[in-house]
Amino acid sequence: MTQASVDRLGFLLSDVARLFRAAFEREIAKSGLGITPGEARALARIAAINGVRQSEIAVALGIEPMTLSRYVDGLEKAGLIKRKTDPKDGRAKCVTTTEKAGDVLAVIRAHADDLVLRLQAGLDESDKQALTRALRTMRDNFAQL
């Protein structure tokens, strides 16, 4: 494969996402938070969409429901989330963060923010803003597909 091939947008997006995830996982693993990188990703997503069903969280994370269930079990045991029966469907569980999650989320966000800053080194502010807008637009376009 030529360099031009791997510099195509699809390859670049995939490579950056894979490398970011690996670096983030290393940061969380050495953070001393007492949760796994997968649990950290799940907790951050749960906080962002607080109160939704576990199945919706799994879709948002792009993981299998059983994988999410393991993460949620660990987070619940750590006192960082609560599961409640969905009032619309007694078989489903909705997940919310607890007060205790606030401090852990702050550490997770600090690691993610620091990593993003390091990755954006060399980009001026207008490029950073354009990149964020472009990625947001591309993400939103997936809803149209």
Over the stretch 34-70, which tens digit does the pLDDT of each residue have? 999 999 999 999 999 989 999 999 999 999 999 999 9
Residue 5 has pLDDT above 80, yes or no: no
96 sits in which H/E element: strand 89-97
CA atoms of 84 and 82, how far apart (whole Å): 7
- Residue 29's pLDDT band, with cuts at 50, 70 and 90, is very high
Domains of the chain by range and CATH? 9-142 (1.10.10.10)
pTM: 0.84
Cα end-to-end span (Å), the chain: 29
